[in-house]
Amino acid sequence: MTMADTIAVMRAGQVEQLGTPVELYERLRTEFVANFLGQSNLLDGRVAGRDGDAAVVEVHGTKLRVPADDLPAQGHVRVGVRPEKLDIVPVRDGDDDGRNALDGTVVDSSFIGVSVQYLVRTAWDDELMVVAQNRAPSHEVAPGTEVSLRWHPAQTFVLAEGH
């Protein structure tokens, strides 16, 4: 990613996505690219409408705000967010501070040194990976703890069904 201004991600001899390193990592178009360059949390949802300049996607009853660019007007989509974009906080108190929020339970934590990697299970049994930077003092969250995962809507990417 540091050696070129433009990169082509190929799959079976076909260009899957072409763009700058930032575009390929932040504005993904397919599930293959989402997992080829790093890891992504992907959730199934359906387009539920618009909210100003954002779109709303419903994921198991939770409404998430996402960028409206290139989003179909209706139908099923996959919502994605990178593990390092998620903040892990105590269960939400009703104030989501304008960010998307999903609740779950920590099922695993691994201290890596520079970061702590968490696996959080939602009420509908999807598991999301969280990579939290190790900042002093350490606030490692123990397995079994109920948490809220929060992230800014602009950090969300949406893949049309079948991509």
Q: Using one digit for the tens of pLDDT, what is the confidence trace for 28-55?
A: 888 888 888 889 999 999 999 988 888 9
Whole-number Cα distances in Å, 138 to 99, 101, 116, 144: 24, 23, 10, 18
Quote the CA–CA distance of 153 and 98 in Å, as a whole number: 8
| pTM given for the model | 0.86
pLDDT, averaged across the chain: 89
Q: CA–CA separation, 161 vs 152, rounded Å?
A: 23
- Digit-coded pLDDT (tens) for 74-102: 789 999 999 999 999 888 666 668 899 99
Q: What domains appear along the chain, each with residue ranges and CATH number?
A: 1-38 (no CATH), 39-160 (2.40.50.100)
